[in-house]
Amino acid sequence: MRTSQMLIPTLREEPGEAETVSHRLLLRAGMIRKVAAGIYTYLPLGLRVIRKVEAIIREEMNRAGAQELLMPIASPAELWRETGRWDFYGKELLRFKDRHERDFCLGPTHEEVITDLIRREVRSYRQLPLNCYQIQTKFRDEIRPRFGLMRGREFIMKDAYSFDRDEAGAQVSYQKMYDAYQRIFTRCGLTFRAVEADTGLIGGTSSHEFMVLAETGEETIVYADEGAYAANVERAEVLPPAETAAESPRPLRKVPTPGVRTVEEVTAFLKIPPQQLVKTLLYQTPKELIAVLVRGDHEVNEIKLKKLLGVVEIELAAPDKVRAATGAPVGFAGPVGLRGIRIVADQSIKALRNVVVGANEADTHYVDADWERDFAVERFADLRNARAGDPSPVGQGQLRVARGIEVGHVFMLGAKYSQSMKATFLDPQGQETLAVMGCYGIGVGRTAASAIEQNHDAKGIIWPAPIAPFHIHLLPLSQSAAVTEATRSLYDTLTQTGIEVLWDDRDERAGVKFNDADLIGAPYQLIVGEKGLAQGLVELKQRKTGEAARLPPNQVLAHVQALLSNRPIS
Ligand code: ATP
Ligand code: MG
């Protein structure tokens, strides 16, 4: 393709709206443009990247035995009412009415629609297992769309759904998808890690997220420095404390702590380590206000808390509720004398003696409080986030922490949807049996964006070759007849063998062309200049390393083919 014939509106200025590298560079390289919050147009260059990612996904899904189909974006409310998700999904589900006043939504995911299809079409165990996938636009009215393609409202997803005769079959289908995902993200040229993920209310261990490792990731993952354990911090289990403090309890005392409320302030004021402070957090659930105790240096894991309480929603209680319940402003809540409120505590509290807690009185704390003597904990449980240095929950090594971007998710659903929607088949004995399901998503745009988060420099994007919009950016440095002729000949030779070349045929200064090429990020730049040609040479430069080889034009093809197939250059 020639630059002059493509819409590639590169920007020299930093776009103000962009918060992350990938968002900024996708805008600057003329690959996307915002239409509304979280809603983008993919321009020709950006779309080429999207299509490359899709092609890799498609090949590997087909290889794994999945079949492609395409479901509609609009789906009728009745299906969502069957599973209860019409109410449960909340505001992320964009709803509308058609001209007959019937309720519809834009599909944020397609379990309902696929399960409806399969329950109608599959009668016998002989038709199973089945795995169907689509690559399609999803809509989720995200509360905070941001970071460009990373968290959009409208975005492209590959979603697959497997249907099996039994649990064992479903495990096989799950493993096939897990393996396919390993191949997909490897082929995309990404550094990633599969981690154990939270399974929500379904339980079990069969849920993995595929995380592209990047400092800018929204997710926190932990992994053991020995062995294979890796998990999303949302899920990572924390072992109970090894031993209880040897101290004997001292008498409870009330001390004035004027104006100090945060962990840092209180521990500095009382000259104690944060492990000696117990934070009391009040959470509002749909049912009640509940007090949660964690050590001063720990963080509450709200997912674990929700599971313990059996609720789907919790939030920190508003300051006025805290005041009403404790009689004190936020920062001074404590378990001693807290009436009418259940108290749950992280298991680490059990090992502590003589702790500092809020006194439910402004500017006051208790010191030397003791859980056995001074307050009533209803349950001790694992309620905190794992952190660096914790022992691995599966026995080997210590945990480390990294940031990741969730690009894919494989999930064992069991009979959740087949049960509510009555998706059954007849087993060999003629018994009606529920299909066992799995679901498997990949964010296509997010995968492309995460490749940029992982591969860029100050000048722009450095695409992994398999998903680059073009393999080669061809840069003639003048408009002279000799240069144009050599360029055209290289272009023809390369494109005839299927190599994708973007030919910058604009009458622009060399500097402008180099800047755009570095910004757009094709893995190789082929530079044709007057001086070089006079010596019979052109320059082939690697975007990533800046390494340049000077070659006679007739050797370029062999060189490029070797580079693109990772072969040594012969
Ligand atoms: P997140 O926790 O990031 O919101 P999710 O758990 O809601 O993700 P899934 O429902 O598992 O995501 O969707 C499958 C995949 O779709 C995700 O792994 C991610 O790559 C992609 N995805 C989800 N939400 C978005 C979004 N708002 N924008 C772009 N991609 C998304
Ligand atoms: Mg989400």
In tens, the pLDDT along 55-96 reads 999 999 999 999 999 999 999 999 999 999 999 888 999 999
> Which pLDDT value is given to residue 48?
98
Q: Are residues 89 and 202 in the same domain?
A: yes
Contacts of 120 (CB under 8 A, 6+ apart): none
Distance from residue 293's CA to the centre of ligand 2 (Å): 28
Pocket test for ligand 1, best of 34, 54, 138 (most atoms within 8 A of CB): 138
Read off the DSSP letter of residue 171. H
Give the model confidence (pLDDT) of 167-204 as tens digits: 999 999 999 999 999 999 999 999 999 999 988 655 55
Confidence at residue 201, expressed as pLDDT on a 0 to 100 scale: 58
**Predicted local distance difference test score (pLDDT) of residue 16:** 85
Residue by residue, DSSP assigns 410-446 as EEEEETHHHHHTT-EEE-TTS-EEEPEEEEEEEEHHH
Question: Does residue 421 fall inside a structural domain?
Answer: yes
pLDDT digits 0-9 by tens, 122-136: 999 999 999 999 999
DSSP secondary structure code for residue 360 in this structure: S
**Does residue 115 have a pLDDT over 90?**
yes
Q: How many domains does the chain have?
A: 3
CATH number at residue 180: 3.30.930.10
520 domain residue, yes or no: yes
374 pLDDT exceeds 80?
Answer: yes
| CATH number for 559 | 3.40.50.800
Show Cβ contacts of residue 457 under 8 Å, excluding neighbours closer than 6 positions. Answer: none
CA-CA distance, 517 to 515, in Å (whole number)? 5
Which structural domain, as residue segments, surrounds residue 539?
Answer: 470-565
Atom of ligand 1 nearest to the CA of 153: 27
Return mean pLDDT, the chain.
95
Residues in contact with ligand 1 by the CB-under-6-Å rule are: 109, 140, 142, 151-152, 155, 157, 406-409, 441-443, 445-446
pLDDT value at residue 396: 83
For residues 438 and 518, membership in a common domain is answered with no
Query: Ligand 1: distance of its center to the CA of 443 in Å?
Result: 6
Going from the Cα of 262 to the center of ligand 1, the distance in angstroms, rounded, reads: 34
Q: Mean pLDDT, to the nearest integer, of 140-163? A: 96
Ligand nearest to the CA of 22: 1
Q: Looking at the CA of residue 209, tell me the nearest atom of ligand 1.
A: 18
Q: Same domain for 426 and 333? A: no
- Claim to verify: residue 348 and residue 486 sit in the same structural domain: no
Q: Could you tell me if 97 and 166 lie in one domain?
A: yes
Provide the whole-model pTM: 0.91
How large is the C-alpha radius of gyration of the chain?
Answer: 29
| Short-list 449, 444, 452, 448, CA closest to 543 | 452
Listed in sequence order, the DSSP H helices in 213-275 are 263-270
For residue 455, pLDDT beyond 90: yes
Is there a single domain that holds both residue 287 and residue 182? Answer: no
416 in a structural domain: yes
Residues 319, 413: one domain?
no
Asked if 260 and 361 sit in the same domain, the reply is yes
CB 252, CB 369: distance < 8 Å: yes
Residue 390 lies in a domain: no
Q: Is residue 233 part of a domain?
A: no
The closest ligand to the CA of 108 turns out to be 1
Residues 222 and 230 sit within 8 Å (Cβ to Cβ):
yes
| 421 and 535 housed in the same domain | no
Q: How far is the CA of 354 from the centre of ligand 1 (A)?
A: 45
* Tokens linked to 108: 């944020």
Q: CATH number for the domain including 366?
A: 3.90.960.10
Supply the residue whose CA is at minimum distance from atom 23 of ligand 1. Answer: 443
* Residues 461-513: tens digit of each pLDDT: 999 999 999 999 999 999 999 999 999 999 999 999 999 999 999 999 999 99
252 alpha carbon – ligand 1 mean position (Å): 49
Whether the predicted pLDDT of 451 surpasses 90: yes
Cβ-Cβ contacts under 8 Å for 427 (sequence gap 6 or more): 125, 165, 433
pLDDT in tens, 383-424: 999 999 999 999 789 999 999 999 999 999 999 999 999 999
Residue 29 in any domain: the answer is no
pLDDT at 245: 73
Angle at which helices 167-187 and 44-63 pack, to 10 degrees? Answer: 140
Catalogue the long-range contacts made by 98-105 (C-beta closer than 8 Å, 24 or more residues apart): 102/76, 102/77, 103/76, 103/77, 104/74, 104/75, 104/76, 104/77, 105/74, 105/75, 105/77, 105/80
Ligand 1 atom nearest to 145, measured from its CA: 27
142 CA to middle of ligand 2, Å? 7
Which ligand is nearest the CA of 141, by number? 1
Quote the pLDDT of residue 19.
Answer: 85
pLDDT at 244: 77
Say if residue 559 is in the same domain as residue 429: no
